[in-house]
Structure formats: C-alpha cells, structure tokens
Chains A and B, each alone.
Chain A
Amino acid sequence: MLARSCLRSTRAFAGLRNGAVHISKRAASSSSSGSAAESPLRLNIAAAAATTVAAGSIAWYYHLYGPTADASTPAEEGLHPTKYPWVHEQWFKSFDHQALRRGFQVYREVCASCHSLSRVPYRTLVGSVLTVDEAKALAEENEYDTEPNDQGDIEKRPGKLSDYLPAPYANDEAARFANNGALPPDLSLIVKARHGGCDYVFNLLTGYPDEPPAGAQVGEGLNFNPYFPGTGIAMARVLFDGVVEYEDGTPATTSQMAKDVTEFLNWAAEPEMDDRKRMGMKVLVVTSVLFAMSVWVKRYKWAWLKSRKIVYDPPKTNNIAPRR
C-alpha cells in the first residue's frame, strides 16, 4: 500500500513536470498512459525507495516497541509446565466423566478443606458427576440461610440442588488467618485463570520435590515448587499415594489423583465444553460442506465468462466507409 502510494505520487510528480507535453500528446493520440517519463529505471528507483522506507519504518517500530522486557527472573516466572496430551483437550473429545467423578471425590476429600468452589452449584453436578439422589443427599449435608421469615429472622435450612458448593471459610480474611496469611484461591475457574491451564495445575500438584534444591531460598512457612511463580508456595504437597480410596477401584496414585482433579477443575471452569465441542463439530462439518458447494456454484455461475470466445469475423465486403 505504502509502496503503491509512493509510486503514484512519483507518477503524479512526473506528470506535473511534463504536464505541457502530456496534454498535447493526449489530445493527439488515443493512447494516454504510455509516456516516456515513466522509464523502467525511474520505476525501479521509486519501488526501491518505497521498500526502504517501509522496511525502515518497521525496523524502527520494532526497535522502539518490539522486544518484550522481562521484569522477572526465570525463577520468578516459575518453571514452564510440561505439556501433557490431555484427551479432553482434543477437538472432538468430551470429558471423561468417570474421571470427573473421581476428581470430584479428590476435591471433596482433599482440596475442599481449604479451597472453595463457589461458582459450582449442586445442580450442575447432576447429570455430569452425580445422580440426582446423590447430589440431593450431598446438598442436604450443608446448611444455608433461608429468606427472611415474618419476623425478619434468617433461619437455617438444609441445602437444595440450587445451592452452591459451600466454602470452607466464611470470608477471605478468615481464609488468610487460617492459612498463615495466604489466601487459597477459589478453584471454580482456576484452569482458565492460570497460564498453562490443565498442565500448570497438574505440574503444580505433582511437582513438589522431596526437599528444595541446594541454594533455593524458601521463605518461612512456604514450600518449594518450581512450577509456582516465585517457587515459594504456601500450599504444601497434599496428594500422596492412597490419600483417597476411589470407589471404582482405580489405584489412587499421586499422578492419577492429580490428573483426575485437574480434569474435574477443567470441567468446573468449562461445564459447557461437551456441548460446545459437539456444536462446533456440527458447525465445522456443515460450513466446510457449504464452502465446497459455494465454490462449485461460483464456478457454475461464472462458467459462461471463463469459457467464452471473442472471435473477430471480418466482413466479406469492403464497402465500409472510414469513420470520422
């Protein structure tokens, strides 16, 4: 674009300079564009200049704003999580709901003592992790506030399916107080909220070394985890082999539990994923078919233009008066 406008201005300039000559020529001949002023040499010079200007301005811009500055050392950034081939992250694969069920068990028995899952109501567990009866029974284990009664008092009632999973602490301050000043984040959207998503969560859960490497600075009350930005994490390692006992008999190794709970947290963050992917599959197939057909229809519609011939059939007689 820039090059073209440069060329155009050159041409306009040339036209201005040779204006008088051009006008007389144009009056005389039907061919207006071909002019001696636009010699190939001049065009080449203009193109080269335009390219230089364009490339130069890009280089200047990159010099100013291009390279990103790293404010943190690699230790402060945290180790990049290893990529794992999560099956549920494939395009047309749903969550493994058996794994979700195991992951929910891990969350309930391990994570829930510190972390809330406040955006997940019991009703969404129905039909993806639990049956209706299980979910109802689980909800009734907790008490929730009622709406104010006639006296304006707020009473307690057992939970219903429309209630959200209870938080372990009343508020953030209570959570900080109980955890040495560190706030355990809500896990509802943790997979979406952390760089690396599932990989990060899995690596964090399984990445605690037995003891911090030599020379590592670990603060008071903190634990060393290379995947955590800053490497000092308040959460200690929680998943050990056999911490939970799976109801379906899957061996509860550390990595198995980490994998299950990660997939469950991914579900908590994106409960709509299965439907979304199914819809996406339908849309992709239909649009590719539509695209192919529209290409065919385009070729069909333009076939007359592509296959026409213009043949000059000279007249048999020569009584054509020269036109004036």
Chain B
Amino acid sequence: MAPLQTVSRALARSATASRAPAATAVRAMSSTPALRDSSSSYQSPFKGESKTNVPDFSKYMSKGSGSTNALFSYFMVGTLGAISAAGAKSTIQQFLVNMSASADVLAMAKVEVDLAAIPEGKNVIIKWRGKPVFIRHRTAAEIDEANSINVASLRDPETDDQRVKKPEWLVMLGVCTHLGCVPIGEAGDFGGWFCPCHGSHYDISGRIRKGPAPLNLEIPAYDFSDDGKLVVG
C-alpha cells in the first residue's frame, strides 16, 4: 500500500509541473519512465478550501522610516529596562532597609545626661546601648596635663583636641580596647584609667600609655544640647 501512495503523490507533483512548457523536453532526458495517466483521476489530498488565499499583510507595514522605527523600538526596550531596573533597585533597597535598626531600637539609642549634676574632677558612668560610658568633668590641671604630652610618642597618636568637643568634658566608651574589660577610673600610672584584667594604663585623655591594649578608648558620638545636657548617641 505504501509504494502506491508515494507514486500517487509523485503523480500529483508531476501533474502540476507538467503545465510548464519546457517540461516535456526535460522529461525526455530523465531516466524515470514517464508515468502518464489521466490527470483527471487525481484528487487533492486536502479537503475543504482548495483555493489558496495568500493573506495581505501590507496594512501592517509601518509607514515610518526605518531609522525612526529602530529608534522607537530601542527606546521602548530601553525604557522597559530602565523602569525595571529602577523597580528592582527600589525593591532590593526596601529589603535591605528591613535589616537596619528598627525604630524602637533607635529610640533607645540616645541617652541624655544632665551635666550640671557632675562636679569638677568627678567621673560618671552611664549605660548606653548596654555599654558603660565614662564621662569626666576634667579640671584645668588635667586638661593641661593631657595637652602637654608629646603625641608622637604615643602608641595610638591622637591629640587631646581630637578626643574632646569641650576640653572640660571627656566622654568615652568604658571598654578596654584590649579584651573588653571595663577599666577602673582614677587609677593607673598616668592618672587616668587602669584596666585590671591585663594591666593597661590609660591617661587622663583616655589614651593608651602602657600595657597590652592597642588603641585609645573609643569616643562615642555625642553632642551638647543647649540646656546644659549631654546627648550620647
């Protein structure tokens, strides 16, 4: 059955082709035996519409010039990309903002201290974000002492001016930079702080002078408000 069908298909093809004038001459040369039969017995294998309607797409054709169309297409694609990029950036940003400190943590992050209650030459320790903060009301002699030191000889060279906003108020984190103990005030070889854990000596400006600690005591962010208060944080 199979060969029969192939033959009939070939017949259909040749029937179409034989309408061309040159067909007979070519066929004469071909080795295939001419299978001539009545072409009227041929039936199209396709049912339904036999007429071929080639659709006309010309109304879809753009009226603009090629360069304008290219520009517009690239503009649309580019704008799509740009807006998507902006949206993606904004989305990622929102997720990252999520990770930052929440409002209640930030609200606890500031501590106010009334400076009028601290007499000259006294230390006050307050808690700020779970860490002790040393506040010292320094005397004039202490300020002079802190300024008289040769900065170049220090392990962590900092002038006293860099460490205070007002010379009479020294504000710093009470955490030893060695291993995080809390130093003792008004102790040590240099009249400042002394860390009992491993024997680090800090001077009256909180700078490391002797012992294992590598750095000066850290200075938190703080500010003096107008009404004589210190705001740490």
A161-B107, A286-B86, A287-B87 known; 7 new pairs, CB 8 Å cut-off, are A28-B1, A30-B5, A309-B55, A312-B52, A316-B22, A317-B26, A322-B14
Question: In the bound complex, do residue A307 and residue B60 qualify as a contact, i.e. CB atoms below 8 Å apart?
Answer: yes
Chain B residues proximal to chain A, CB less than 8 Å: 1-2, 5-7, 9-10, 13-14, 16-18, 20, 22-23, 26-27, 29-30, 32, 52, 54-55, 57, 60, 73, 76-77, 79-80, 83-84, 86-87, 103-104, 107-108, 127
Q: Does A302 contact B (CB under 8 A)?
A: no
* A123 touches B (CB below 8 Å): yes
Which of A27, A29, A162, A300 neighbours the largest number of chain B CB atoms within 10 Å of its CB? A162
Contact indicator B1/A320 (Cβ below 8 Å): no
How many Cβ-Cβ contacts under 8 Å join chain A to chain B? Answer: 83
* CB neighbours of B108 from chain A (8 A): 162
Q: List A residues at the B interface (Cβ < 8 Å).
A: 27-30, 121, 123-124, 147, 161-162, 283, 286-287, 289-290, 293-294, 296-297, 300, 303, 307, 309, 311-312, 314-324
B80 touches A316 (CB 8 A): no
Query: CB within 8 A of B30: which of A124, A290, A319?
Result: A319
* Cβ–Cβ contact B17 & A297, under 8 A: no
> B83 and A318: CB pair below 8 A?
no
A318 touches B73 (CB 8 A): no
When the two chains form their complex, are residues B1 and A318 in contact, meaning their CB atoms are under 8 A apart? no
Interface on chain B toward A: helix, strand, loop, or mixed SS?
Answer: helix
Q: How far is the CA of A194 from the CA of B103 in the complex (A)?
A: 27
CA distance A307 to B61 in the complex (A): 9
A297-B27 contact, Cβ under 8 Å, with A309-B55, A314-B16 = no
Contact at A307–B17, with CB atoms within 8 Å? no
Per the bound structure, the CA–CA distance linking A5 and B179 in Å amounts to 71
Contacts of A162 in B (CB 8 A): 104, 107-108
Contact A318 B60 (CB under 8 A): no
**Chain B residues near A293 (CB, 8 Å)?**
76, 79-80, 83
B107 touches A297 (CB 8 A): no
A14–B48 Cα distance when bound, in Å, is 28
Contact B77 A317, beta carbon cutoff 8 Å:
no
7 A–B pairs (Cβ distance < 8 Å), ordered by A = A123-B107, A283-B87, A290-B87, A297-B77, A303-B60, A320-B14, A323-B10
- The distance in angstroms between the C-alpha atoms of A322 and B12, with both chains bound, is 10
A29-B1 in contact (CB<8A): yes
> Top 5 nearest A-B pairs by Cβ distance?
A322-B10, A318-B17, A162-B107, A318-B23, A319-B26
Least CB distance from A26 to B in Å reads 11
A296, B108: Cα distance in complex, Å: 52
Whether A311 contacts B1 by the Cβ 8 Å rule is no
Interfacial chain A residues near B22, Cβ < 8 Å: 316-317
Q: State whether B18 touches A321 (Cβ < 8 A).
A: no
Does the CB pair A307–B57 fall under 8 Å?
Answer: yes
Determine whether the beta carbon of A321 is less than 8 Å from that of B32.
yes
Query: For B10, what are the chain A residues with a Cβ–Cβ distance below 8 Å?
Result: 322-323
- Is B20 within 8 A of A317, CB to CB? yes
A22 CB, min distance to chain B CBs, angstroms: 15
Given the interface contacts A147-B127, A307-B57, A323-B6, does A289 sit within 8 Å of B83 by beta carbon? yes
Q: Which residues of B contact A123 (CB under 8 A)?
A: 103, 107
Task: Indicate if the CB atoms of A297 and B87 lie closer than 8 Å.
Answer: no
A29-B5 in contact (CB<8A): yes
Cα separation A124 to B103 with both chains bound (whole Å): 9
How long is the Cα–Cα vector from A296 to B77 in the complex, in angstroms?
Answer: 9
Residues of B within 8 A of A318 (CB): 14, 17-18, 20, 23, 26-27
Is A319 in contact with B27, judged by CB distance below 8 angstroms? Answer: yes
Q: Which residues of A contact B60 (CB under 8 A)?
A: 303, 307
Nearest CB in chain A: distance from B216 CB, A: 27
A188, B143: Cα distance in complex, Å:
52
Known: A123-B103, A162-B104, A307-B60. A322 touches B76 (CB 8 A): no
| Contact status B26-A300, CB under 8 Å | no
